[in-house]
Structure formats: C-alpha cells, structure tokens
Amino acid sequence: MNIPSRSITFLSFLLSSFSFSFVLSRNLSYLKQGSSLFVDDWHTSLVSPSGSFSCGFYPVGINAFAFSIWFSFDKTIAWTANRDRPVNGKGSWVSLRHGGGLVLFDFDGTMIWSTQIISTNKINRAQLLDSGNLVITDLSGIMLWKSFDNPTDTLLPYQGITKDNKLVSSAAKGVISSGYYQLYFDSNNILQLIYDSPNLTSIYWPDPFNKWWVNNRTAYNNSRIGVFDDLGYFMGSDNLRFKSSDYGAHVMRRLTLDYDGNLRLYSLNESAKTWSVSWLALSQPCQVHGICGQYGLCVYKPELQCICPLGFDVLDPNDWRKGCKPTFNITCHSAGQVRFVELAHTDFWGFDFNYTRLLSFHTCKKICLRDCSCQAFGYKKGSGECYPKITLINGRYSQNTMQTIYWKVPRSFKAPKISIYETNPHNCSAISEVHFMNYSALELRKKNVGKQTWIYLYSFACSVFVVEALFIFVGWWFIWRERKQEIRENHYETVSCSFRRFTYKELERATNRFKNELGRGGSGIVYKGTMEEERLIAVKKLHGVSQGGEEFFAELNIIGRINHMNLVRIRGFCSEGAHRLLVYDFVEKGSLDNVLFDSSSKHLLRWRRRCKIAVGVAKGLAYLHHECLEWVIHCDVKPENILLDDEFEPKITDFGLVKLLNRNSCGQELSRIHGTRGYIAPEWASNLPITGKADVYSYGVVLLEILRGMRISDWVLQDGEEEDQVEMILGRWVSSIKERLKKSGQGSPCAWVEELIDPSLNGDFNSAEASMMVKVALSCVEEERSRRPNMADVVRMLQSYDAE
C-alpha cells in the first residue's frame, strides 16, 4: 500500500513540475514561445528588470481574474487585457503561441482575448519592460506587439494616446470593467473627454461651449498624438500642454481617466508609497457630464453629491449614475393641467430645442407649455436667455449659476415644504464617494408669474435667501455637533457649508466702506469688518485678478475646501464685475512680523510660544502640501503671512492666492508678490519648476528668524552688503554654520547654538531643543532642494523632541 501511494505522489510531482517546468521562480523575466502562465499559480508573474512593474493574473473578484500589468509596489493596475470578461480562477491560462501571440483562455478552453499578431516572423518571447510596456518580439528582437498600443484607462510616460486608441474609464471605484467616459482624438484632431452611454453622448472637456481656438487647442495638426515625458510634461498635437505640479525626474507617474470621468495625473510619493494628484482636467467635478444620470443634480459642497429633485426618486440607490425617475406622469394633452416648479442656481447642460435671448419670462414659459416634448426650461433673468429642454441631464447645482430651471409638473403635484440636507463632513481628498440625498425644489408662486415680475423677483430673492439660510444652518449644526462630540484633536472642522458668496454691497457695509485698513501686500489690501453677530472678519480686496468669474470660482472651490487649524479660515468671496474679494476670519494678534521683530512686543514670544508657532506653521504647510491636493504650494511663506490668534496659535494666510491670481508658474511677478527679500528659494532664480520644496526653504528662513528674533536680512548682512544679495549671503552663512556643526561633531553642539538664539530670551530656553530646531532650519535652507526635507518630515522632526 505504501509504495504505490508514494509513487503516485511522485508521479504527480513529476507531472506538475513538467507542466510548470518554465516556472523556476515566482518572478519570471520573460515568457518563451510555447510556454504559459496559469491562473492556479497566479503568484507567478512576469516582472520588469527593475521590479517596478508586474504582469500576470490579477484577482478582480471572487474566483475572477484579469490578465493585467500593475505597479509592483501597490498593485495599482496600469493595463488589462480582458477588463470586461474576467476568467475563472481555476483552470484558466495564457499562452505565447505562434498563431496569435499571447492568447488568454478561460477554464473551459474558450479563447477570451488574444494579441492577434499576424506576422510571418517567428515569435520568440514576451517580456515586460521597465516602462511598464509588455512587448512580444521575434527572434531578431523586432517588436510585433506592445501593450502600450492598447491602453485601458491609464497612460504611462511615453505611452501615447493616438488616433488609433483611446482611454476608457472603469465603471466604478475599485472595479476594472469599462465605464462610459472616454478620452480620445475626435475627427477635428482635438483630444477630448466624452460621456458615451447607451442613451447619451456628451462632450464635456475641453469646455464644449467654446470653439477650439478659445480653448487654446488647434484642429490643424492631424498627427493626433498626445504623450507625457518622464518629467511630467504632457504635449498633444492639438496644442494641449500641461505640467505636473511636481515637474521633475525620478517620479513615477500615471495619467488615468478615473471612474468619475475626470482625467488625473498621479505622482508616486516614494516615501509614503501613495499616489497624489499632480494635475487634473476639471477642477469642478460637476462639470463632468452624465455623472448623476438623467434628472439627477450634481452638487459640490465640498464633495460631489448626486441628488434627485423633488418629485423624483432615485432609480438605483446603489448606483447614483443611473439617475432619477419622476413620480408623476405628464401626458401631451395635459397642457392646462401643468405648472412649473422652480430650481434656482441650477443648470442642465445641453438638450435645448431652442435658444433665444431677450425673451420675457412669460414668453419663455409659453414656449415650453406649448411643446409637449418640453420637460423644463432654463431662464436667466437680466439677459432674458431662454433654454427650453427636451431632456434633463448633466444637471448641476451651484451658487454661482445664475440660471433657474422651471420644471413641468402636473397641477396636482404637491411639493412638501421640508428640505432634507445631508451633508458630508469636509474632506480634502480629490475623489470622494457620492452620496444620495433628497432635495426640495422651491415652489413657484402659482398665479400670474411673469405678468408681475416683482413677484418673480421676490420669490427668486426668497429662494436665494432660504437656500443660503439653509447652508448657514447646516454649517452651524455641524459646528455645534462637532463641539459637542469634542472631536477637536485632529483639528479639522467640518463647516465647509458655511463657505459662501457675498455681494459687494454686503462687504461694503461690513467694512464700513473699506475704512479700516489692516495691511497691504502684493496681492491686495486687507480691511477689517464686522458681520452679523459681531463676528470680526478680514476682507481682502484682490488686485490683478485676470480670471473671469467661472475660473475664479473654480479655484475658490479648492481654496474653500481647505480647512486646518493652522490656516486662516476662508469664509467666502465676492465676485462682481471687476471686484474680487475674499473674506477671512479675523485673527486677533495680527502678523508674526509685528510681534517678533518689534522690541516692545517681543517679550510676549517666550520660548514655548516660539516652539508652538514653529510647529503650527509647519503643520499648516504640511497640510497644504500633503493632505490637500499636492499642488497647493504657498509660494509666499514669510512672517507677514503668518497670523497669530489670541492664544498665539499661528494661522497661515494667503495660501492658494498664486492659483487665484492665475500666476500658474508661481514665479511670475515674483517681485510683486514678495515684499521682502530673503525668503525666496534659489530655484526661483534658476528658472526650475517650483515645488513644495520652495515653501520648505522659506519655512527654514522663517524658523531661523523665530529662533533669532530678527529679520534674516538684518542678521546675515554685513555693512555695505546689498539687500538683493541676501539669498547668496545666506547660502554662505549656512555653509559656515554647517562647518561649525561638523567640527563640533559628536560633542555638545549646544554651546555655540546658544549664540544664535534671540538674546532677548535671556537664556530662558531648552538648549537641546533649540539645537534640534537649528538643525531642522539648516536642512530646510539647503541650496539643493532634493536635500531639503518635506514639510511632513519637518513636522515629525519638530515633534520628535516632545515625544522623547
């Protein structure tokens, strides 16, 4: 009995080692002609020479696998052969064969996918390159097929999008099957994003309202190729150009058309092993078409949410993209039986069967009443623009939209009065889950609408007021709830809903006609004001804003979401005509420079307070750099932009202004932004792209000033040296300090550090802590930016002392 069973085991061992004879290790460097990969052994995969990419069977569900290429470090998929037809987890395999190249078979032998190589050349091997490209070559090394020619939803550096391929988004988060969003070159040679579902196609990027030349594209180049390089610079033959915010070499990047229809460039943060967004096509997610389905409304405050208007039910609570369905019937013969329900600040993009300007509200309404295919009409008072609509899709609600939608409903339709808002806590990350909530339309007064426009105006004003009041109420409710639960330790408040739009009149009143000036800088003048309930505000009048209202609003959408205890809270904005104003919380003690450099108030900044300020500023910047979208670089860190509240907690102000003032490269008009020399990182002068490391440098200078209690220019400049050489002299000074640090070596460096610390502290400080802080500051002001720590590291280093 013993011998046969053993021989069977031996036989099966032989058999399996025969069939897997090519599997010498779990990582293969290539697949020879005639060999296969088996799903049952899915831990075996092809790996690129450097190990960055892997290719093989990837589990995509219970017992379902796809043949994919992924980033080895986190298993993010870069390419998939069979995204819509996964294979069984038992018995499926992929072979490299003469006929067809790579061929994928399901468990029952059905051919699922193949590279379909038609070539007389003899296939030799399939290999995964370091670029993430899977290639099949013949004996002489000629490429017969490459995965780069057949992208799914992701492009890698030097993988082009061409006239022959396109990117197709996945259907949902964490799903690989194809969705409805596509990136492709159209017949006009323009690279664009389209929502292409079975019952609707709609282009949404670049702005479909504009002609291509307005969108800065060209239709004249029919080579139709778009590609980004390993520095993060994308170039399309249609003149589309963009740069990743962390432009530079040695960063892994991917350009992905996400499931939510937005095109994003991601950069890999090597130390944190996470992807961060370094560019995106649409800053307002609601601009993506089809995102909330038919009749659905997209709301963004501050996360994307889909809502169904009153009288509509969600079709599928598990999938908001399916939209909503009406709970009423409207037949063609019911012309006298209908009325309109009003939705202010709403748009449903496209599907107008008519467009006329300068119509009265009444005429516009009549057009829609007469036509039984008209489901609603959009009307802009003032310009009298009238948009009767055949269908309602691409809906979005935004305070900034000056259009009102009037919705046809049966006369018998009853609108409940109560609105239910369900807002999600503030979340700064780029992609967020979409939630469903109810939405109550405001009822239009039933009689004589249009005849007496004042009624219309009145109800319009009312609706604005009610919506606004609701926002404020929801905001306060959140504050109240937060306070109650005392979830204060992570310093994030969830009051984003109170971010709002102000009218110029309101702000004029609040600031008493801009009487009380608090300060002025490169970007504008700041005035003190008082809102209702005696709340103090600071109003900044921006000058030099070149953006139109929409763009300004888009940028504000990002800035308005930013919320951290070490950043000045932005309460709202005003954009009217040429006026662009920002409304901030008023911060008690004014800016750091007033306290730190003034001998009469300096005594207030004892050692503990200085440490608290140093850590707080670092935390605020770390939040901007790492927790928000990567590209919130401050560009102008200096004591003037650090405010202190009555507890001496620092709050950084003016963040995001560089984006708002449309100085994209952040370096333009530098002299205008920077009042004081000395905080500017050396890369400004060398024309290198600016990254968060420029802020790190400025922070280092500020930290030195906090320690010394003196302006860096007053400190390092000798007599006769020019102010505009301060950066260079600072560089020399830093090197000499570092020399001393090296010389003192392992011994106690504290003695000479004490000389650097503000003498007005009279030696009342912790010298070990001080020397740690000096070291941090010196590493921040390294000339070579790659040697500077990032802000998260700085926070860690500063806090490590407390921990010990």
Ligand X SMILES: *[C@@H]1O[C@H](CO)[C@@H](O)[C@H](O)[C@H]1NC(C)=O
| 563 counts as binding ligand X under rule CB under 6 A | no
| 150 counts as binding ligand X under rule CB under 6 A | no
53/242 with CB nearer ligand X: 242
| 334 counts as binding ligand X under rule CB under 6 A | no
Helix axes of 767-780 and 791-803: crossing angle, nearest 10 degrees: 170
- Structure token digits, residue 349: 């993009």
Active site members: 636
Rounded distance, CA 8 to CA 196, Å?
57
Give the strands of the sheet with 191-197, arranged side by side. Answer: 167-170, 178-185, 191-197, 200-205
> Which of 236, 180, 243, 182 lies closest to 212, judged by CA?
236
Strands 178-185 and 167-170: antiparallel
| 219 counts as binding ligand X under rule CB under 6 A | no
Give the strands of the sheet with 404-410, arranged side by side. Answer: 338-343, 404-410, 376-380, 385-389
> Which of 563, 580, 583, 564 lies closest to 572, judged by CA?
583
DSSP calls for 587-624: -TT-BHHHHHT-TTTGGG--HHHHHHHHHHHHHHHHII
Q: Min. distance of Cβ 237 from ligand X in angstroms?
A: 3
219/525 with CB nearer ligand X: 219
- With CB under 6 A as the rule, give the number of residues binding ligand X: 12
Rounded distance, CA 170 to CA 172, Å?
6
Contact segment (CB under 6 A) with ligand X among 144-152, 322-330, 749-757, 777-785 equals: 322-330
Contact at 8 Å (CB) between 284 and 204?
Answer: no
| 433 counts as binding ligand X under rule CB under 6 A | yes
Q: In this structure, which long-range contacts are made by residues 51-55, counting pairs with CB atoms below 8 Å and at least 24 apart in sequence?
A: 51/27, 52/130, 52/132, 52/252, 53/78, 53/128, 53/130, 53/132, 54/27, 54/128, 55/128, 55/134
Q: Min. distance of Cβ 166 from ligand X in angstroms?
A: 18
Rounded distance, CA 27 to CA 36, Å?
14
| 116 counts as binding ligand X under rule CB under 6 A | no
148/379 with CB nearer ligand X: 148
Per CB under 6 A, the list member of 9, 16, 216, 223 interacting with ligand X is 223
| 201 counts as binding ligand X under rule CB under 6 A | no
Contact segment (CB under 6 A) with ligand X among 325-333, 359-367, 502-510, 766-774 equals: 325-333
| 575 counts as binding ligand X under rule CB under 6 A | no
Rounded distance, CA 216 to CA 218, Å?
7
Helices (H), 427-562: 453-485, 504-510, 549-559
Per CB under 6 A, the list member of 119, 327, 448, 665 interacting with ligand X is 327
| 221 counts as binding ligand X under rule CB under 6 A | yes
| 216 counts as binding ligand X under rule CB under 6 A | no
Question: Pattern 252-291, binding to ligand X, x per CB under 6 A?
Answer: ----------------------------------------
| 432 counts as binding ligand X under rule CB under 6 A | yes
HEC letters along 632-668: CCCCCCCHHHEEECCCCCEEECCCCHHHHCCCCCCCC
| 225 counts as binding ligand X under rule CB under 6 A | yes
> Was 541 annotated as part of a binding site?
yes
Question: Pattern 590-609, binding to ligand X, x per CB under 6 A?
Answer: --------------------
DSSP letter, residue 444: P
Per CB under 6 A, the list member of 373, 429, 448, 725 interacting with ligand X is 429
Per CB under 6 A, the list member of 427, 547, 594, 676 interacting with ligand X is 427
Contact at 8 Å (CB) between 274 and 251?
Answer: no
Residue 761's alpha-carbon distances to 598, 646, 750, 777, in angstroms, are: 14, 21, 16, 19
Contact segment (CB under 6 A) with ligand X among 38-46, 101-109, 326-334, 715-723 equals: 326-334
| 391 counts as binding ligand X under rule CB under 6 A | no
Contact segment (CB under 6 A) with ligand X among 99-107, 191-199, 425-433, 606-614 equals: 425-433
| 237 counts as binding ligand X under rule CB under 6 A | yes
Q: Min. distance of Cβ 163 from ligand X in angstroms?
A: 12
DSSP letter, residue 442: B
| 329 counts as binding ligand X under rule CB under 6 A | yes
Q: Min. distance of Cβ 204 from ligand X in angstroms?
A: 22
Contact segment (CB under 6 A) with ligand X among 90-98, 263-271, 428-436, 688-696 equals: 428-436
Contact at 8 Å (CB) between 195 and 261?
Answer: yes
Residue ranges of the binding site: 541
Residue ranges of the binding site for ATP: 541
Q: Which residues contact ligand X by CB under 6 A? A: 221, 223, 225, 235, 237, 327-329, 427, 429, 432-433
